[in-house]
Each structure stands twice: as C-alpha cells, then as structure tokens.
Amino acid sequence: MKKPVHTLTAAMLTAILSLSTATAQGSAVQGEVRKIDEAAGKVTLKHGPIRNLGMDVGMTMTFRVKDPAMLREVQIGDKVEFEAEQAASGYTVTKMQKSN
C-alpha cells in the first residue's frame, strides 16, 4: 500500500515543479530601451504585456533596476528580453539581456 502513495507523491511533486518552471520561463518580456538613467538606476522600456505584474497591454514605462550594472550592457534602441517584479521601491527589472 505504501508504493502507490509514494508514486502519487512523486507524480504530484513532478507536476508542481514543472508548473513552477513553466511559470518562471513565461515571465520574460520583450522590450526596447528608450532611456537610460544610470545615476538614478532606472531604465525606460517600451514593452509588451507583463502578465506577472497584471499588465495585460504593452506600454512605455520607467523601471528601477535591481543591479545598476545591467544599464552598462544596453544602449538606447536595443531590443531586450527582461523580467520584472513588484518590489517595495516599485516595479524593478531583475534580469535584462539583449535579444535579437
């Protein structure tokens, strides 16, 4: 009787982990750098919907960046893929890289 319980538990755990991975991979957003303010640690991005923040339409907005070094890796006009989250200080880009 213990074997079916272990099998069910393993299957449930696998499903949960797969869902978490899919959710994490789905949070990347395409955007374009419109303005960089290194002194303030902010970037303005024109972007598509950001589902994990409840934004169902694209727009242009300014974000704080988690790591100011990210700003030295991009230039105005660059196409980027980024992830953002709601932090205590406002919407914050946590990852950003150039995209094709």
Alpha helices in the chain (DSSP H): 2-25
How far is the C-alpha of 94 from the C-alpha of 88, rounded, in Å?
13
CATH code, 56: 2.40.50.320
Query: Is the torsion defined by CA of 98, 44, 88, 69 positive or negative?
Result: positive
At 78-98, the pLDDT tens digits run 999 999 999 999 999 999 999
The predicted structure's pLDDT at residue 9: 52
Interacting residues of 77 by C-beta distance below 8 A, sequence separation 6+: 32, 33
The predicted structure's pLDDT at residue 5: 54
Number of domains in the chain: 1
For the chain, the 3-state helix, strand and coil shares in percent, each to the nearest 5, are: 35, 40, 25
The predicted structure's pLDDT at residue 2: 55
pTM: 0.73
The predicted structure's pLDDT at residue 18: 41
Residue 50 structural domain: 29-98
Are the beta carbons of 85 and 53 closer than 8 angstroms?
A: yes
The pair of structure tokens assigned to 78 is 């660059």
Identify the segments of the chain with pLDDT beneath 70: 1-26
In a domain, 17, yes or no: no
